[in-house]
Amino acid sequence: MRTRVVAGNWKMNKDLSGSRELAQAVARAADASPSVEVVISPVNIYLGAVADTIRGSKLKLSAQNMHWAENGAYTGEVGPTMLKEIGCSHVILGHSERREYFGEDDALISQKVRTALAHDLTPIFCFGETLAEREAGRTQSTVEKQIRGGLEGVSSDDLTRIIFAYEPVWAIGTGRTATPEQAQEVHQFIRSLLSNMFGTDVSSKIRILYGGSVKADNAAELISQPDIDGALVGGASLKPADFEAIIQAAR
Ligand code: PEP
């Protein structure tokens, strides 16, 4: 039985008091659904304040990005030990917005995945095809390339510590969700790819989240698919009642 995960990516939204308020509401929802691993990912500079707010609850804290080095001359960056020290247990890596706007490629993402694992941070490793790639029939080859690239150098012993997140780019923030069948088809492909790469025992334990316009009213059907183990949620994670409904859908 794989523990389901519902993770909220707040992106560059919410001020300090809004972050605290939202975190408080989500902490209550997480404590009411102990069978679900609930994670929030506020803006970096508010991570410490949010960690204080949710202390004592089951809610887990994630960064939205991380540098691959421990420390050094990397102006503006934050390293893994700093995130751990401030209370993070998870880190989102390879999000399509990082790939698109900040030029992150598979090689860089794999460095970050290895760094996160080495520092006992759980990577939420994102990948997914663009609309053009889907329409050209390249969904599976794109996803396979991103997974193989992002896992470069990762030991098979560490695989189950990674949370995978399939996020078709055309569904992120667009209101256009993959149908449960479309999502399941890709999730099944991902699991069989991981099975070929690392064996069935490992692949059967890996959590694969779906992300892309998950809302209160479509979460249950998506998460009930056999190879979908939860959701990575952007827009709807900023609305406490909607996010709570998605958590409940994962119970
Ligand atoms: C995301 O950014 O990871 C995401 C899934 O966003 P949204 O839910 O808004 O599509």
Q: Topology of 5-249 in CATH?
A: TIM Barrel (3.20.20)
Share of the chain above pLDDT 90, in %: 99
Tokens (6 digits) for 248: 């409940």
The answer to whether the annotation marks 112 as part of a ligand binding site is no
Tokens (6 digits) for 14: 């919410």
Q: What is the 3-state secondary structure (H, E, C) of the chain?
A: CCCCEEEEECCCCCCHHHHHHHHHHHHHHHHHCCCCEEEEECCHHHHHHHHHHHCCCCCEEEECCCCCCCCCCCCCCCCHHHHHHHCCCEEEECCHHHHHHHCCCHHHHHHHHHHHHHCCCEEEEEECCCHHHHHCCCHHHHHHHHHHHHCCCCCHHHHHHCEEEECCHHHCCCCCCCCHHHHHHHHHHHHHHHHHHHCHHHHCCCCEEEECCCCCCCHHHHHCCCCCCEEEECHHHHCHHHHHHHHHHCC
Distance CA 91, CA 69 (A): 14
pLDDT at 239: 98
Report the nearest atom of ligand 1 relative to the CA of 11.
2
ipTM, 2 dp: 0.97
Distance CA 243, CA 216 (A): 7
Confidence of residue 1 (pLDDT cuts 50, 70, 90): confident
Of all protein residues, the one whose alpha carbon is nearest to atom 2 of ligand 1 is 234
Pocket test for ligand 1, best of 99, 214, 218, 242 (most atoms within 8 A of CB): 214
Mean of the per-residue pLDDT values for the chain? 98
Q: What is the pLDDT of residues 166-192, one digit of tens each?
A: 999 999 999 999 999 999 999 999 999
95 is catalytic: yes
The answer to whether the annotation marks 10 as part of a ligand binding site is yes
Of all protein residues, the one whose alpha carbon is nearest to atom 6 of ligand 1 is 234
Of all protein residues, the one whose alpha carbon is nearest to atom 3 of ligand 1 is 234
Between the CA of 10 and the centroid of ligand 1 the distance, in Å, is 9
Q: What is the pLDDT of residues 89-124, one digit of tens each?
A: 999 999 999 999 999 999 999 999 999 999 999 999
Phi, psi (rounded to 5 degrees) for 62 = -130, 145
* Crossing angle (nearest 10°) for helices 139-150 and 180-198: 40
Report the nearest atom of ligand 1 relative to the CA of 167.
5
Tokens (6 digits) for 16: 């300090």
Pocket test for ligand 1, best of 92, 170, 233, 239 (most atoms within 8 A of CB): 233
119 is catalytic: no
Strand partners, 41: 9
Given 67, 90, 95, 187, the catalytic residue: 95
Between the CA of 43 and the centroid of ligand 1 the distance, in Å, is 15
pLDDT at 80: 98
Structure-token match 């989240």, residue found: 209
The answer to whether the annotation marks 9 as part of a ligand binding site is yes
pLDDT at 193: 98
Domain boundaries, given as residue ranges, for the chain? 5-249
List, chain by chain if needed, residues with CB within 6 Å of any ligand 1 atom.
9, 167, 172-173, 211-214, 232-236
The answer to whether the annotation marks 234 as part of a ligand binding site is yes
Of all protein residues, the one whose alpha carbon is nearest to atom 7 of ligand 1 is 234
Which amino acid is present at 130? Answer: T
